[in-house]
Amino acid sequence: MLKEHDLGGIRKKKKKRVVAKQLWKYVAKHKKVFILAVILTCISNILALICPMVSGFAIDAIGTKVGEVKFVKVFIYVGMMIVFYVLSAIISYILSVLMINTSQKIVKQMRHDVMDTFFELSVEYFDQHAIGDIISRISYDIDTINTSFSHDVVQLLASVMTIIGALIMMICLSPMLVLVFVVMLPISIYVTGYLTKKARPFFSKRSICLANLNGYVEEMLSGHKTICAYEQEERIMGEFDDKNLEAVNAYYESEYHGSLTGPSVTLINNISLALISAFGAIMFLYGKMSIGQISSFVLYSRKFSGPINEAANIFTELQSSLSAAERVFSFMNEPREWKDLEDAREISSCEGLLEGKDINFGYQENKLILKDISFKANPGNMIAVVGPTGSGKSTLINLIMQFYPIKSGDIILDEKVYSNIKKASLRRQFAMVLQETWLFSGTIYENLVYGREDATLEEVIEATKAAHIHDTIEKLPNGYDTVLTDEGVSLSAGQKQLMTIARAMLLPAQMLILDEATSNVDTRTEKMIQQAMAKLMKGKTCFVIAHRLSTIRNADTILVIRDGSVVERGNHDTLLRKHGVYAGIYQAQFE
Amino acid sequence: MDKVLEYVKRYRKDVIWGICMKFGGTLLELGIPWVLSYIIDRVIPMKKISLVFIWGLVMILFSVGAALGNICANRVASKSSMQITRDLRHDLFNKILHLSKHQVDTITLPSLVSRMTTDTYNIHHAVGMLQRMGVRTPVIVLGSFFVMFSLDKIMTLVLLLIIPINILFVYYITSHGIPLFQKQQKNVDNMVRTVREDYTGIRVIKALSKEKYEKKHFEVINEQLVKSEKKASVYMAITNPLMNLMFNVGMAVVILIGAFRLNRGGTTIGCIMAFNSYFMTLLAAMMGITRIFVMTSKALASSSRVKEILELPEELVIASKEQYPVDKSFFQDSYAIKFNHVTFRYHGEHTPSLSDISFQLKKGESLGIIGATGSGKSTLVNLLLRFYDTSEGEIYINGENIKTISGQKMREKMGVVFQSDFVCSGTLRENIAFGRKCEEENLKLAILTAQANELVELDVDGLEKRIYARGNNLSGGQKQRLLLSRALAAVPEILILDDSSSALDYKTDARFRKCLQKNYPMITQIMIAQRISSIMDMDHILVLEGGRIESFGTHEELMQKCKVYRELYELQTGGDIDVKGA
């Protein structure tokens, strides 16, 4: 029987394999480039590795005695060295550029795929996931992968090659002296491994503590005013000091442990150097080695030290980028918005007859939000939905707009069942004005024609005039071409609402969905919004989540919803006469 | 960096001690190639194996010494940089907490947060690194220079040529590279903003089937980002190959010059080899310089941002009683609050947010404030709490000018709930008591009055219920009740509610107001509201329009004399019915 953590391990391994497979898809497109990169790395490193050998030849050609320098040879060898070094530098530069280009291509494709996924996900996903999470995947995680491809892969390859190459060269020079490394190399690898492994938990503790501190600072500063109002500065300071101390201590420990590796590896290398010098000298005395060979050997042994340390670092970085890739892919693998049925039809326009039949719906399996909801709106009718927050009003809109799939019951448009209509074409039949106004950074004009790019300027102005926003726009520095940004020009809440109304007016839609704002605007703007809304609603089948009495009074049907069920329905007058829930709500404001 | 240097000075001893050890360790490290050349040139010709061993041992001793020195120095450096950062962060946070509201407005919260986090982190990183590598690199460069100079003056000229070129080159690359990285960062921000927008607007995008359009739009942004990233990376990629090239070619040149000099008896073969070895060491050290440059320039920018905050002047000082004497007449009338011709302009703004506001309230009276957004309601409360000082006119509490009241004394009197107020992670009790010593019965009464008892009773943990950051596990109404409890928990003399009951439904709102009157009869109350129904029973109602008092009186009086008020009333009862939680 497998123990639980063994099972976890197996699952992890399997997961890693899946991630690697998906990663390979991106890499495979650039297979040739990667092969070229490997070849270039080889050439560049071989050139760099030959040089110490050549320099050894040069030193031998110089010899130890005055007046016996073989100049021709020295010139040839030095010339070779320079040529090799120049070539090696050029190749390694080309290699870097090549890898940067390739990794940028990969990263671009990844971002593209993430955003492709983004727009294919259902609204449900966005309702359940925080934006910060998605952003960290598309920026931070992909960035980590980028570094790996553009830098780490080549570096790791180069390190491994340098280690192997230097070892081969040293064996060629003197198999006896290499014995020093037979002892020292395992020690070096062990020490590096041991120290990095020991330091790792300190590093993760450090990021946790820092994240804690940052979170605390952000939280407390957001309450700056309240803290001042209750004179809590000192208490907060005390709490902060604790968190700060924890963070700097964690930083200290990680730094201390991390900075052990460098000197330790250097120490081992220096000891190797000492041993090589001593044994080399002895071998020279016995005539087994020339000075030039010792010199080359020393240079090779120096080349040895860096890569071992570096390879260890890169290995940890590769691990973190693998887990970054896992996060990116898990986003890409999220289930998409459900597909239209195969025989679903495209519709280009509609009459506006909307009917709901016995709708039951819950976001979770066992918790119904809407129970047995039915309604019917004739073309040009207005249905108002009234009820407390959490009663299911927005859920109803989610279904009508097909943001969520209907699970039981039906909605029927012009006698066509929803499931027989293609989602995109269905949604286009509706204009929507929501409580949370959404404008993007772009010009006012771009925002207005967002739903209908072919609208002429005359049409746009007609709409903005009807929405009482034309004059405001004209007064802006660049009129309709004014760019809305976070820092620059921004509109007030009321003006934004008018903008979205104007945008909705431009749409050819026959039906309207309105989530009325519980307005936070001044009386004048409020009046303008009401007037604009009235114009917008004219002649359309309207579905309104109502907060205003004036809206509700004019509604053809009022649905009073409570806990997901329709408790009352009828128009204003009949409902008032009933003296039921609706009448209660209506009276409450005069109490 | 001067501000950071002040902190460094506090730990002068540690820093100097660390630098000395680093210095010693690095010198020993530099000695190793020198010993190598000594063995080859002097020891080998003597042909004594025992001497070879002794000098080999000397090399090992040097190595051990160097390692110990470096490790100890690193430890000391980490320790001092940690202490420096701790102090710096403490002072910075303390300063930020005591900034005036006006200062917070001008700098903005996100900017303060990033100074507290990213900037102090950059400084920490740089202070540690500069102590470790910043010492080592110059010592290695200078040290090898001297050793090489003593070994062979002519061959050192090669180095003399390479090093300045290298430093210039590094300087050039980094100073041109940093703007490229900044541009890249801008493009990253742009991408993040786009994703954020698409996230918030997903319903609109889907409703209008604009997915393809948005994909194309993102493609453009992606392309821009990739371009700038590529440019910056390719630009920086030249550094390593070029540095390698310079030192390696330099080494070859040294061999060539060495050959000529040795031929004339000017140098030895061991010396040439030592040069080779030093060149390798130098190359490794110079590679680090690029990093130090980038780090330091980052930290310099950060430290000037931190300094900017630390050196802000202290605002809102407590003035002396002589300057603003107590007005005795208030005690007789028992006016709790008086505004005397108060005018206020936000910093740098021309038009006043409030002009010529005068009114007074007796102890136990209540005032409702109503008006459109931007009419100055919240500003009025901010002035009463002395988050800002008035531009003209004075405000008095119990006859004392608020400029003379100490922060603590003043806040003790007040219970406040702001618009979208702050709920922090912690228990319900912690959030209500909010660090004050509240007696249990006061706490209970506050909870009862705020209609929050069901919130407490509903949960098995009662008052110990865990609240998430920003109160994310509470509904709007529950949050509101918690905040009202907090405001009442210390039995304040003055209760200020800035649009605090908007998340409560009509019935709960009414019950709260009744309980408040019953349980806290002596409380003076100021309430800002959107709904007329919340304030129509108040003793006084103040209608603000465009920062001026439009009208002041009771509900009945205002219905008679104030057009704005009447209009609002009609619009609300004829228009707005809020059915939340009904």
Q: Which residue has the higher pLDDT, B181 or A247?
A: A247
pLDDT tier, A154 (very low <50, low <70, confident <90, very high otherwise): confident
The residue out of B315, B348, B381 marking a domain boundary is: B315
Q: Which H or E run includes B134?
A: helix B120-151
Domain tally for chain B?
A: 2
Decide if A356 touches B, using CB distance below 8 A. no
- pLDDT (0 to 100) of residue B580: 38
- pLDDT (0 to 100) of residue B194: 87
Say whether B366 sits in a helix, a strand or coil: strand
What angle do helix axes B211-237 and A71-120 make, rounded to 10 degrees? 160
Q: Which residues of B touch A544 (CB under 8 A)?
A: none
- pLDDT (0 to 100) of residue A104: 92
Q: Tens digits of per-residue pLDDT, A385-407? A: 887 666 677 788 888 888 888 88
The answer to the question of residue B231 being in a domain is: no
B19 with B123, same domain: the answer is yes
B540 with B515, same domain: the answer is yes
User: Mean pLDDT of all residues in chain B?
Assistant: 82
Q: Tens digits of per-residue pLDDT, A28-64? A: 888 898 889 889 988 888 887 888 888 888 888 888 7
**d(CA A340, nearest CA chain B) in Å:** 14
Q: Are A558 and A572 in contact (CB under 8 A)?
A: yes
Looking at mean pLDDT, say which of A276-285, B433-442, B455-464 comes out highest. Answer: A276-285
For the segment A300-321, the average pLDDT, to the nearest whole number, is 74
Number of Cβ within 10 Å of residue B308's Cβ equals: 13
pLDDT tier, B506 (very low <50, low <70, confident <90, very high otherwise): low
Bridge pairing between strands B392-397 and B400-401: antiparallel
Considering all CA atoms of chain B, what is the largest pairwise distance in Å, rounded to the nearest integer? 119
CB neighbour burial string for A546-574, b if at least 16 within 10 angstroms, e if fewer: bbbbebbbbbebbbbbbebebebbbebee
The answer to the question of residue B363 being in a domain is: yes
Looking at mean pLDDT, say which of B99-113, B437-451, B490-504 comes out highest. Answer: B437-451
For the segment B486-491, the average pLDDT, to the nearest whole number, is 86
Say whether A469 sits in a helix, a strand or coil: coil
- pLDDT (0 to 100) of residue B470: 67
For the segment A510-516, the average pLDDT, to the nearest whole number, is 84
* The two domains A23-173 and A354-588 share their CATH topology (first three levels equal): no
How is B423-451 classified by DSSP, letter by letter? Answer: --SEEHHHHHHTTS---HHHHHHHHHHTT
The answer to the question of residue B483 being in a domain is: no
Q: What is the CATH number of domain A23-173?
A: 1.20.1560.10
Residues 6+ apart with CB under 8 A from B398: B330, B331, B335, B336
Residues 6+ apart with CB under 8 A from B548: B354, B355, B356, B357
CB neighbour burial string for A485-509, b if at least 16 within 10 angstroms, e if fewer: eeeeeebeebbbbbbbbbbbbbbeb
Tokens 């690199």 identify what position? B137
B299 with B360, same domain: the answer is no
Q: Which H or E run includes B466?
A: strand B466-467
User: Mean pLDDT of all residues in chain A?
Assistant: 82
For the segment B131-136, the average pLDDT, to the nearest whole number, is 80
- pLDDT (0 to 100) of residue A108: 93
B300 with B412, same domain: the answer is no
B300 with B365, same domain: the answer is no
- Is A173's pLDDT higher than 50? yes
Range A354-588 has CATH code 3.20.20.70: no
Could you tell me which residues are beta bridge partners of residue A359? A373
- pLDDT (0 to 100) of residue B582: 34
Contact A530 B575 (CB under 8 A): yes
The answer to the question of residue B136 being in a domain is: yes
- pLDDT (0 to 100) of residue B330: 53
Tokens 């040089």 identify what position? A51
Q: Tens digits of per-residue pLDDT, A402-455? A: 888 888 888 888 878 888 888 888 888 888 888 777 888 888 898 898 888 888
Q: Tens digits of per-residue pLDDT, B296-337? A: 877 887 888 888 888 888 776 666 666 666 665 555 556 788
Q: Which residue of B has its CA nearest to A138?
A: B192
Decide if A545 touches B, using CB distance below 8 A. no
For the segment B359-373, the average pLDDT, to the nearest whole number, is 84
The answer to the question of residue B139 being in a domain is: yes
Instruction: Provide the residue range defining the domain that includes B10.
Output: 1-152+293-315
Decide if B271 touches A, using CB distance below 8 A. no
Decide if B79 touches A, using CB distance below 8 A. yes
Decide if A288 touches B, using CB distance below 8 A. no
The answer to the question of residue B498 being in a domain is: yes
How is A212-273 classified by DSSP, letter by letter? Answer: HHHHHHHHHHHTHHHHHHTT-HHHHHHHHHHHHHHHHHHHHHHHHHHHHHHHHHHHHHHHHH
Name the region of A88 (left: φ>0; alpha: ψ -120 to 50; beta: rest). Answer: alpha
B53 with B104, same domain: the answer is yes
- pLDDT (0 to 100) of residue B64: 92
Q: Which residue has the higher pLDDT, B17 or B478?
A: B17
For the segment B406-417, the average pLDDT, to the nearest whole number, is 77
- Is A518's pLDDT higher than 80? no
- Is B234's pLDDT higher than 50? yes
How is B476-540 classified by DSSP, letter by letter? Answer: HHHHHHHHHHHHHHT--SEEEEESTTTTS-HHHHHHHHHHHHHH-TT-EEEEE-S-HHHHTTSSE
- pLDDT (0 to 100) of residue A83: 92
| Distance in angstroms (rounded) separating the CA atoms of residues B383 and B362 | 18
Q: Tens digits of per-residue pLDDT, B277-294? A: 788 878 877 777 777 777
* Range of weakest confidence among A380-384, B201-205, B219-223, B346-350: B346-350
- pLDDT (0 to 100) of residue A111: 92
Q: Which residue has the higher pLDDT, A82 or A583?
A: A82
Q: Which residue has the higher pLDDT, B344 or A261?
A: B344
List all residues of chain A from 425 to 464 with a beta carbon under 8 Å from chain B: 425, 427-428, 430, 432, 434, 436, 438, 440-441, 450-451
Q: Are A33 and A108 in contact (CB under 8 A)?
A: no
Decide if A108 touches B, using CB distance below 8 A. yes
Residue positions counted in chain A: 591
With a pLDDT cut of 70, the percent of chain B lying above it is: 90
Q: Which residue has the higher pLDDT, A519 or B56?
A: B56
Decide if B468 touches A, using CB distance below 8 A. no
| Distance in angstroms (rounded) separating the CA atoms of residues A216 and A233 | 14
- pLDDT (0 to 100) of residue B226: 93
- pLDDT (0 to 100) of residue B517: 84
**B134: its two tokens:** 């910043």
DSSP state of B373: T
Q: Is the pTM of this model over 0.80?
A: no
Tokens 């609002």 identify what position? B568
| Distance in angstroms (rounded) separating the CA atoms of residues B93 and B113 | 10
Vertex A562 angle, CA A556 and A568, to 5°: 40
- pLDDT (0 to 100) of residue B244: 86
- Is A303's pLDDT higher than 60? yes
Contact A270 B59 (CB under 8 A): yes
- Is B227's pLDDT higher than 90? yes
Domain ranges (residues) in chain A: 23-173, 175-288, 354-588
- Write the residue in B47, B49, B411 that is nearest to A230 by C-beta: B411
What is the identity of the amino acid at A253? E
DSSP state of A530: H
B305 with B349, same domain: the answer is no
The residue out of B285, B315, B345 marking a domain boundary is: B315
Q: Are B552 and B542 in contact (CB under 8 A)?
A: yes
**B167: its two tokens:** 């430093």
For the segment B19-40, the average pLDDT, to the nearest whole number, is 85
Q: Tens digits of per-residue pLDDT, B382-397? A: 888 888 888 888 888 8
Interface residue of A389, A401, A434 to substitute, partner B, most B CBs within 10 Å: A389
Vertex B181 angle, CA B96 and B140, to 5°: 90
List all residues of chain A from 30 to 49 with a beta carbon under 8 Å from chain B: none
- A100: nearest Cα among A45, A148, A54: A148
Name the region of A342 (left: φ>0; alpha: ψ -120 to 50; beta: rest). Answer: alpha
B398 with B298, same domain: the answer is no
The answer to the question of residue B5 being in a domain is: yes
- pLDDT (0 to 100) of residue B210: 85
Could you tell me which residues are beta bridge partners of residue B362? B335
B344 with B413, same domain: the answer is yes
Sign of the four-CA dihedral A426, A432, A434, A437: positive
Contact A107 B505 (CB under 8 A): no
B298 with B411, same domain: the answer is no
- Is B120's pLDDT higher than 80? yes
Decide if A189 touches B, using CB distance below 8 A. no
- A118: nearest Cα among B433, B2, B218, B571: B218
- Is B578's pLDDT higher than 50? no
Chain-centre distance of CA B104, in angstroms?
A: 11
For the segment A119-129, the average pLDDT, to the nearest whole number, is 84
Q: Which residue has the higher pLDDT, B301 or A12?
A: B301
The answer to the question of residue B251 being in a domain is: no
**B323: its two tokens:** 């300057």
B298 with B383, same domain: the answer is no
| Distance in angstroms (rounded) separating the CA atoms of residues A96 and A318 | 18
- Is B345's pLDDT higher than 50? yes
Query: Which CATH number characterizes residue B558's domain?
Result: 3.40.50.300
Query: Which CATH number characterizes residue B92's domain?
Result: 1.20.1560.10
